[in-house]
Structure 1
Amino acid sequence: MENLFTLPKKIIVLGCLFLLFSCSQDEMITADLQKNVSSSFTAKTSAAKLTVFKGPQVALGYGKVRSWISVDSNGHPYEIGIEITPEAFKNLDTDNSKSVPPDGETIVVPLQLKATQLTPFDHIGLNWNPHGHEPAGVFNVPHFDIHFYMISAQEQLAIPAWSTETDAAFNNYPPIGYMPADYFTPPGPATAEPQMGKHWLPINLGAYLPFSKIMIYGSYNGKFIFVEPMITLDYLLSDVDFSANYSQPEHFEKAGNYPTKYNIYHDAESGNTYVTLSDFVARN
């Protein structure tokens, strides 16, 4: 969730459009689960064997970010997310003229083909907010928004800015049961963002303050279109691992494998940071 109210958005497509990335830019790695994630997250499944499919790297700060998905021996998705190198947190200047990426722009992080085949997700949008955004006193601290989109990049780019003419599409909510019952979105332009959609917050928002991490939902024109871990820079740099279930809708428009947990963890050997979704459940 970028600026919740007024800030226009742009999309950075790094290199070529991700639809044009060649297969040589992806990687497939067969490895022990323990080598890919922190021991605290994988203690109960440390003997599992996974195949890891990695998407192409894109630039962030002085480092790189890329998507990946791990698949178990039965061909089921185990975990999906992004891998951030430690250098990526450098050159994230709070001066908008120097920040990489600039405040208000989105990095498109392509998914490897296997990820789009086994999950409902199409691509990931990564936003850096050096000053946070409204509402003041809630999200106005430096943080990242990580949108896991279930629509194509073309559909995402076509979402217009809010206006009296587009209000109906933004406030055409999914039917009852297709968004979590304990989430809400205010009517009108609040939380309506161009090239993103309408953002939904937990009803018990106070339980997440002071803000360090939270899961956001998104919709547009009657459809549930993204889930969004929103995490402060301070928390990502803290080396504190985290894993928690997040609220689920009762119904799903499309059958598929949907995650139920989000995770933040760090690899001491490489220094990489991971933000992932896991514990997939097959939905009808």
Structure 2
Amino acid sequence: MEHLYRIPKKIIVLGLLLFFFSCSQDETVNSNLQTNETQSFSAKMSNEKLNVFKGPEVALGYGKVRSWVSVNKEGFPSEIGIEITPEAFKNLSDENAKSVPPEGATIVVPLHEKAMQSTPFDHIGLNWNPHGHEPVGFFDVPHFDIHFYMISVEEQMAIPAWSPATNDAFNNYPPPGYLPADYGTPPGPATAEAEMGKHWAPNNLPTLLPFTKVLIYGTFDGEFIFIEPMITLNYFLSKEDFSIPYSQPDFFAKSGNYPTKYNVFHNSTNGNTYVTLSDFVWRTKK
């Protein structure tokens, strides 16, 4: 596979995993999402009444972030994602803010139990990169990485830094067909991240510049372990909405409900921003 890009290692503060939990508990909101505050893309395309299940709030900047999932009456997922209050985008470099994570460090956003039951995801890892990261000319602008992990927090944190000794694990890729054919990654340490894994991007990445949003896949030691929307701060502040299908693997190592679109949308009433995965399809293990 021809690789048209490189993504060198991100500037990340490794070590302690940062949990920024508030006193909030998981929450269930029973409603039709067409009139609920989330106003999801999938709900707008459907007349189904959906139940919303929210995870606990986590502090970010002067605001908060939390996960949520919507499911129909049969328990089939419609959409999963995070909601970010407008205050979370303010003064992210201010040491007096409630929670400003070190550059690149992971904030764990827990999922509601219903999300873990109905989707392959275990938790969401949110990374704020105020100066972006290499390569220059690609991702060197302020942006967020939003990892939807399919492994536990403990498994994620156990992923080591790249070294000659760990090279084989990072470059042990899933068999052909278990990642999209139009995605690639260079060999070696360039995209190998401790506490994350190996990063894969679309082969046509140069045509998507200047970078505002892109969807990344992640692997480690032969397994597909995360789906990652990367979105710039400027795009969030523009309040522009989108809903985009993304490339799918031919095969899946585990049966389950997998999303096929990623979305960003805004609520004009409460000012919240939403980053979601939607349009789930049942996949049978092959």
Q: TM-score, normalised by structure 1?
A: 0.92
Structure 1 distance, partners of 2:260, 2:128, is 25
- Opposite residue 192 of structure 2, the aligned amino acid is A
Counterpart check, 1:14 vs 2:7: no
Corresponding position of 1:126:
126
- Opposite residue 5 of structure 1, the aligned amino acid is K
Corresponding position of 1:214:
214
Corresponding position of 1:147:
147
CA deviations on 1:9-57 (whole Å, 9 max, x unpaired) are 43212249xxxx9xx7100011111124347664332x32110000000
Decide whether aligned partners of structure 1 residues 28 and 43 sit closer, same or farther in structure 2, where only a CA change above 3 A counts.
closer
Structure 1 distance, partners of 2:201, 2:230, is 11
Moved more, 211-220 or 35-44: 35-44
Structure 1 distance, partners of 2:224, 2:40, is 33
Structure 1 distance, partners of 2:10, 2:276, is 29
Corresponding position of 1:67:
67
Root-mean-square deviation (CA), in Å?
2.1
For residue 230 of structure 1, give the secondary structure of its aligned residue in structure 2.
strand
Q: Which of 3, 9, 14 lines up with 1:5 in the alignment?
A: 9
Could you tell me which runs of 5 or more consecutive residues in structure 2 were left unpaired when the two chains were aligned.
1-6
- Opposite residue 171 of structure 2, the aligned amino acid is N
For residue 214 of structure 1, give the secondary structure of its aligned residue in structure 2.
strand
Counterpart check, 1:43 vs 2:49: no
Structure 1 distance, partners of 2:112, 2:73, is 18
Decide whether aligned partners of structure 1 residues 99 and 206 sit closer, same or farther in structure 2, where only a CA change above 3 A counts.
farther
Structure 2 distance, partners of 1:124, 1:266, is 20
Corresponding position of 2:241:
241
Corresponding position of 2:4:
none
- Tell me the CA shift for residue 92 of structure 1: 0.9
Tell me the number of residue pairs that the alignment of Structure 1 and Structure 2 aligns.
Answer: 274
Structure 2 distance, partners of 1:147, 1:59, is 17
Corresponding position of 1:188:
188
Structure 2 distance, partners of 1:48, 1:40, is 13
For residue 115 of structure 2, give the secondary structure of its aligned residue in structure 1.
helix
- Tell me the CA shift for residue 94 of structure 1: 8.4
Decide whether aligned partners of structure 1 residues 193 and 154 sit closer, same or farther in structure 2, where only a CA change above 3 A counts.
same
Corresponding position of 1:223:
223
Asked if structure 1 preserves the Cα contact closer than 8 Å seen for 2:33 and 2:40, the reply is no
Counterpart check, 1:201 vs 2:201: yes
- 1:77-116 correspondence runs (5 A): 77-93=77-93, 100-116=100-116
Q: TM-score, normalised by structure 2?
A: 0.91
CA deviations on 1:162-199 (whole Å, 9 max, x unpaired) are 00000000000001111110000100001100000000
Asked if structure 1 preserves the Cα contact closer than 8 Å seen for 2:13 and 2:103, the reply is no
Asked if structure 2 preserves the Cα contact closer than 8 Å seen for 1:115 and 1:121, the reply is yes
Asked if structure 1 preserves the Cα contact closer than 8 Å seen for 2:63 and 2:89, the reply is yes
Asked if structure 1 preserves the Cα contact closer than 8 Å seen for 2:131 and 2:140, the reply is yes
Structure 2 distance, partners of 1:109, 1:68, is 10
For residue 126 of structure 1, give the secondary structure of its aligned residue in structure 2.
strand
Asked if structure 2 preserves the Cα contact closer than 8 Å seen for 1:94 and 1:131, the reply is no
Structure 2 distance, partners of 1:56, 1:4, is 33
- Opposite residue 14 of structure 1, the aligned amino acid is F
CA deviations on 1:219-250 (whole Å, 9 max, x unpaired) are 00000000000000000111111001001111
Could you tell me which runs of 5 or more consecutive residues in structure 1 were left unpaired when the two chains were aligned.
none
CA deviations on 1:86-137 (whole Å, 9 max, x unpaired) are 0000121289xx9812202110000000000110000000000000000000
Asked if structure 2 preserves the Cα contact closer than 8 Å seen for 1:93 and 1:99, the reply is no
Structure 1 distance, partners of 2:19, 2:167, is 28
- Opposite residue 132 of structure 1, the aligned amino acid is G
Decide whether aligned partners of structure 1 residues 235 and 6 sit closer, same or farther in structure 2, where only a CA change above 3 A counts.
closer
- Tell me the CA shift for residue 74 of structure 1: 2.0
- Tell me the CA shift for residue 149 of structure 1: 0.3
- Opposite residue 58 of structure 1, the aligned amino acid is V
